[in-house]
Amino acid sequence: MEAPLLIELSDIHKIYEVGADRVHALRGVDLRIEEGEYVAVMGASGSGKSTLMNILGCLDTPTTGSYRLKGRLVSDLDDDALAGIRNREIGFVFQTFNLLPRSTAAQNVELPLVYAGRDAGERERRAREALEAVGLGDRAKHRPNELSGGQRQRVAIARALINHPSLLLADEPTGNLDSTTSEEILRILDGLHERGHTVLIVTHEEDIAAHAHRLIRLHDGAVVEDRTATA
């Protein structure tokens, strides 16, 4: 029995106007991702992978084509509606962590709940649970400058998970980490997938992509490879 369809992209094109030039970042991308998949998106610089991630994460909209998330057409929504989708449905993990430097780990994790209007008691409880889930229950009151790079990324993962999103998007999640710490972060992502999360990693590194169960490769804005990883 097939899993429910989470993502459906149909003939997605993205064109940027750069001065007098038109840059065709995506060229007719079709993509279907089921709930619970573990996907890596690869491609060289300029291949379109960052543009694809921005569209999947509702940070940008396609020039033409349609994007459905959990059956809802999101490609035509306005900025306010897209912000709501991002807060409820998508968890982001970035290479640069994107943590507020003067806030504690717990306060950083709580942020999506602040935007969602949750009360303080619920925010504190859920932030504590999320930090414990990534092995940082004892670092809740530490600020980012008091944490290692790997610990900061774990805080970012906890923040991404706080709203129980449909999709976890990780953009070069180990790009600022050493090899040992990178493996720790990848084991966390592996574990999240095993617990049923849909995980999509954007990376240019083959060994990172090897953790995923499906590989999508882009070249010049088009999908040139889409295969299930072999054991």
CA distance linking residue 186 with residue 193, whole number of Å = 11
CA distance linking residue 222 with residue 5, whole number of Å = 21
pLDDT bucket at 1, cuts 50 / 70 / 90: low
Query: At residue 19, does pLDDT exceed 90?
Result: no
Query: At residue 99, does pLDDT exceed 90?
Result: yes
For the segment 40-57, the average pLDDT, to the nearest whole number, is: 93
CA distance linking residue 26 with residue 15, whole number of Å = 7
The CA R_g of the chain, rounded to the nearest whole Å, is: 18
For the segment 48-62, the average pLDDT, to the nearest whole number, is: 94
Mean pLDDT of the chain: 92
The whole-number pLDDT of residue 36 equals 96
Query: At residue 231, does pLDDT exceed 60?
Result: no
Domains for the chain: give ranges and CATH numbers: 37-61+89-228 (3.40.50.300)
The two tokens of residue 213 are: 């169960």
Q: Give the rounded distance of the alpha carbon of 54 from its chain centre.
A: 9
The whole-number pLDDT of residue 96 equals 86
- Each residue of 107-132: pLDDT tens digit? 999 999 988 889 999 999 999 999 99
The whole-number pLDDT of residue 218 equals 97
Four-point Cα dihedral 3, 83, 57, 18, nearest 10: 150
The pTM (predicted TM-score) of the whole model is: 0.90
Query: At residue 3, does pLDDT exceed 80?
Result: no
Q: Decide which of 210 and 230 is more confident.
A: 210
Residue 190: other Cβ atoms inside 10 A: 15
Helix axes 149-161, 105-115, angle to 10 degrees: 20
For the segment 152-180, the average pLDDT, to the nearest whole number, is: 91
The whole-number pLDDT of residue 20 equals 86
Q: Give the rounded distance of the alpha carbon of 64 from its chain centre.
A: 23
pLDDT bucket at 154, cuts 50 / 70 / 90: very high
Burial class (CB in 10 A: 0-12, 13-18, 19+), 189: buried
Q: List Cβ neighbours of 115 (8 Å cut-off, separation of 6 or more).
A: 87
CB-based contact 41:201 (threshold 8 Å): yes
* Longest Cα separation, the chain: 54
